[in-house]
Amino acid sequence: MRSAWLWVVLVSGCASLNTNVSIKEHPTPATWQGAAPAPSIAALSWKEYFADPQLTALISEALTNNPDLGIALQRIEQARAGVKRSTGALLPRLDLALGSGVRRYGLYTMDGAGNATTDITPGQVVPVNLGDFLAGFQASWEIDLWGKLRNQKEATVARYLASVEGSHLVITSLVADVATAWFDLRALDRLEVLLREAIDRQREAMEIVQLQKAAGRATELAVQQFEVQLAETKALAVITSQQRVEAQSRLNLLLGRPPRAIAPSGAIAFEVEAPVGAGVPADVLRARPDIRAAELELKAAGADLESARAAFFPNITLGASLGVQAFNPVFLARLPESLIYSVVGGLVAPLLNRSGLEAEFDGAKALKLEALHAYQRVALTAYAEVENGLSDVTTTSSLVALRQQQQRTVERSIETADTLFRAGKASSLEVLFAQQSRLRADVELVEAWRRQRIARVTIYKVLGGGWQ
């Protein structure tokens, strides 16, 4: 009757532990706005997506030497060790026990008085200093009836897999960062060339104005204006050179090596890139490592909650020991006199003052709700990043085309202004404005190219590419 009452108390106490938690769901969009249906570029490896051999070599070096990636890989090893630990908790444990000691009982105690008149061997009373030697095996096993240990293992495995996805996220970010730094460096290299060419042109134009001033065809003000323009261009060249040093150092840091010179080879091709394939939004849920990691963390939180619920049920453990024990090591080999063994079983169930278990359960429930919100946030962020990335790819492609048109127009105006100036039919101010327009058009075209390349790097990353 008492055992039945105990069972009713336990079951009624656990019935209120509801593990079903949820938040408002947002449906996955069917398609991307303004994007034609096409296979996602995330399915391409970074070696396929980035055609530049020099860039792919740098990415390969970064994946070998980057310290952040090394840290992520060690976190995987830590999580793998946790999986082994949780797996072992499900299995029986067997230990070897070896022990020795000595005890002395006071003569005016019950044990001491009894020992003084008791033979431990024929004709020998129990010695005052009693030795104790033990050798044997001890086994224990917690029977996982309610799934507490199994859920703990499931949570550990999920977190291990999440750590793997975390390393994939590091790889994705590293590939994108190296590519971005590379295109920054290439753009700055091109700007340095353009600025050197502009300085040569402006110096030549200033010399012509100086000759015209000597001939009485130009004023000192015209010469000063050209000097100001030349000084500004030289200052811009100095700033660009410093930016290139910083971009080169940033790239070397990503590669996990000390600073060294990096010289991009080949000229920039200012072509308008083709549209990218983005697949459908559901593809992002499967491809992005951060979403996959958040899903696994949600699974782990759910397993933790089930484990916290199972802690309210009785805990059943079995134990056994087998060995030999004697007061003198000489007698350890005497069997069966020195043989000892035991078999025990126990059931422990929480009845009163379960506030600790309730706190663990409430905390696990809050953790699962947090994981739900985190997963939803990551997914919504991914959708927004892809939409923004697709728009940026389209915008920058259009921008490159417009900047190319602008540059062609400026080139024609430069030729016209130079011809008229040499013939004395155009003022030095017109030539000055034409040169400024040319330099600005060149710089803006390089910047548009850089933005276009980085936009394509970003869309590849946010679609979930780069870790394959």
Does 161 score more than 90 pLDDT?
no
Q: What's the whole-number average pLDDT of the chain? A: 84
Are 82 and 156 contacting, i.e. CB atoms less than 8 angstroms apart?
yes
The predicted pLDDT at position 421 comes to: 65
Q: What's this model's pTM, rounded to 2 decimal places? A: 0.81
pLDDT surpasses 90 at 451: yes
Query: Could you give the domains of the chain?
Result: 22-90+146-313+361-462 (1.20.1600.10), 94-143+315-348 (2.20.200.10)
Which of 6-10, 44-48, 213-217, 282-286 is predicted least confidently?
Answer: 6-10
Examine the pLDDT at 215 and tell me if it is beyond 80.
no
Residues 86-111: tens digit of each pLDDT: 888 778 888 888 888 888 888 878 87
Instruction: Indicate the range of 11-25, 269-283, 284-298 predicted with least confidence.
Output: 11-25
Q: What is the pLDDT of residue 191?
A: 92
Backbone angles phi, psi at 92, to 5 degrees: -60, 150
Query: pLDDT, tens digit, for every residue of 281-290?
Result: 888 888 889 8
Instruction: Indicate if the pLDDT at residue 3 is higher than 70.
Output: no
Q: Give the pLDDT mean for 445-454.
A: 92
Measured CA to CA, the distance from residue 97 to residue 95 in angstroms comes to: 6
Residue 467, helix vs strand vs coil? coil
Q: What per-residue confidence (pLDDT) applies to 281?
A: 86
Residues 6 and 8: their CA atoms lie apart, in Å, by 5
> Tokens 């952040």 belong to which residue?
68
Q: What does the pLDDT average to over 403-426?
A: 75
Answer whether the bond into residue 275 is a cis peptide, omega within 30°.
no
- Using CA atoms, how far apart are residues 338 and 130, in angstroms rounded to an integer? 15
| pLDDT attached to residue 13 | 53
Q: Is 315's pLDDT higher than 70?
A: yes
pLDDT above 50 (res 1): no
**Which segment of 10-19, 59-68, 184-193, 398-407 scores lowest on mean pLDDT?**
10-19
Order of strands across the sheet with 129-143?
93-104, 129-143, 315-326, 339-348
CB hemisphere CA count around 214 (13 angstroms): 6
